[in-house]
Amino acid sequence: MTLLVPFDGSELAEAALVRATEFAVVFDEDVLAVSVIPKGNAGYARKRGWLGEEEPFAMQPIVSKLHEQVVGLAPSADFRHKTVDKYAPSGSISTRIRKVAKREDVSMVFIGSDNAGHLVTSVSSVGGNVATDEAYDVVIVRNRSPAKIAKLKNASPHRHTKSDFYLPE
């Protein structure tokens, strides 16, 4: 089985990835980080810090940046990216994540979510849509900086690095 982390590069996604890595050690499971990128949507990419203010949209640098971020936090994690249409609603993004979860037969999904203490399923929440699937357990991470992140990042016995490339779709 696999532990899946929807990864957009945010602080909460980073925290979710680290938490998934902690669980993976205990459960002897693999971790898979999945990024969903709207093709050609520079505004979306800038909002998430994937592009600079004047930088044009280019898929490869965005995927590389996200991959490096994942490997920097969890070197033993696998990384995949998926694409959706330029102006895809959050429902399309969550559908892609859920398809990966089903295909990979994941046992748990770790979601970084600001509003986890409120209502998980808001109308525009990717995390809420992913969390509604009953095929896997869901762990909601709402603390951006767990005290153990730096310690785990530097001391984990599972820091063997995966490949330094990604497979395009």
Please report the DSSP string for 53-87 in residue order: TTPPP-HHHHHHHHHHHHHHH-TT-EEEEEEE-TT
**Statement: residue 57 has pLDDT above 80:** yes
The stretch 146-162 carries a mean pLDDT of: 53
Q: What is the pLDDT averaged over residues 22-41?
A: 95
Number of C-beta neighbours around residue 33 at 10 A: 29
Domain architecture of the chain: domains with CATH? 2-155 (3.40.50.620)
Closest CA to 161 of 79, 43, 48: 79
Tokens found for residue 86:
């330029």
Rounded to whole angstroms, the Cα distance separating 135 from 141 reads 19
The pLDDT value recorded for residue 33 is: 98
At 66, is the pLDDT very low, low, confident or very high (cuts 50, 70, 90)? very high
For residue 108, pLDDT beyond 80: yes
State the chain's mean pLDDT as an integer: 82
> How does pLDDT run across 4-29, given as a tens digit for each residue?
999 999 999 999 999 999 999 999 99
pLDDT band at 138 (very low <50, low <70, confident <90, very high): confident
For the entire predicted model, the pTM comes to 0.77
pLDDT at 67: 97
Pairing of strands 137-141, 2-6: unpaired
Q: How far is it, in rounded angstroms, from Cα 115 to Cα 119?
A: 7
Q: Give the pLDDT of residue 148.
A: 55
pLDDT confidence bin for 74, thresholds 50/70/90: very high
Q: For residues 111 and 115, what is the distance between their CA atoms, to the nearest angstrom?
A: 11
